[in-house]
Amino acid sequence: MWDQQKIQDFQTDLLDWYYKNKRNLPWRADTDPYKVWISEIMLQQTRVDTVIDYYYRFMEEFPTIQDLAEADEERLLKVWQGLGYYSRARNLKVAANQIQADFNGKFPDTVEGIRSLKGIGPYTAGAIASISFGLAEPAIDGNVMRVISRLFGVEEDIAKSSTYKIFDRILRAIISHEHPGDMNQALMEVGATVSTPSATECPSWLKPFCYACAHDAHDKFPVKTKKAKPKDIYYLAAVIENNAHEHLLIQRPETGLLAKMWHYPLKEIDVKEYQALKQYWQKEDTNQLTLDLVSEDEAPDIFSEWPVVWQKRHLGEVTHTFTHLKWHILIFYGRTQNDFSPENGKWLDEQSFSTLIFPKVQQKIIQQFNKTHKVR
């Protein structure tokens, strides 16, 4: 650890750099805890440049905690659409109702109160407590762990939960009690713009404090075990159109991955069957404009449950990676004269798609379908 003089020097140099170099981000315009909260939740596993437009739209739609608490869930998810990790949006609404019920509509101003809210962990609580209420609480995210591990030579694996205590102890020792929110944001800013994963050294003002620079070991920190490879899951997507030019869409269950969201019917199959269909149902003519139909005896068993005539080719595939899963989806198109209605299904024309909440993977399927399907 550093002595008190070195800590003071670091605080001064860090904050001077931050005030001169910080990015102009909309949630930094003030310290309103509601705005800080929304921005921090949005920024989880999402790029800053992606979040900016979503943040503006969210604040226009739900300018107060009460507006969020009273929000229609479908409207909330529609505003969130494209940001992914939709449980974040649902947790926001639950937490807004907690604030209304348990804190008389005022955002809690203690760490314990903030942590009691749905979806708020140590990092988000620390960010809100320090930025909005001036509490000397650390906000430890991936950027901050990378910076601190290089400054102090932390050799413990940051992927292990036990290592968090080391960073917490260091940050509590060096955080500014006069400007804790600015210091937390400064450390995040250093990690995002200066001490990036690919950085090989620190700028001149930071070098005197950096263990990694002194030992020519920037690339050694942080120590982190590789994540397990996402599990591959294989699906067929069925784009089915009726005589009214409507498409069949299915709503997912109320819990689990992509809860209550809409997509084309998906059928999970094993990898061997997926690869066989991918090869057998290839588009034979790159300029094919006619609907070459699959005969009844050619149709795979996986399609037999629906009264559908299938086009004799697939329309390509899309992939989408979640945290622990990677979906591989092969797309097929078919027509039906029957308005059959599977459980949780509905028929809609493409102009009405904007009324539903589509996950990113469904948007990819629609884009691939529109790009490759020539028959109208």
Pair of tokens at residue 139: 């906000």
CA dist 224 and 154 (Å) reads: 11
CA distance 210 to 201: 9
Is-cis flag, bond preceding 222, omega within 30? yes
Three-class SS of residue 192?
helix
Distance CA 169, CA 241 (A): 60
Helical segments of the chain, H only: 4-21, 33-42, 48-61, 65-69, 73-80, 87-102, 111-115, 122-133, 142-152, 164-174, 180-193, 211-214, 271-280, 360-372
Point out the catalytic residue in the list 40, 137, 241, 317.
40
Which of 52, 62, 61 is CA-nearest to residue 25? Answer: 52
Reply yes or no on whether 298 is catalytic: no
d(CA 180, CA 61): 31
Q: Please identify every residue annotated as catalytic.
A: 40
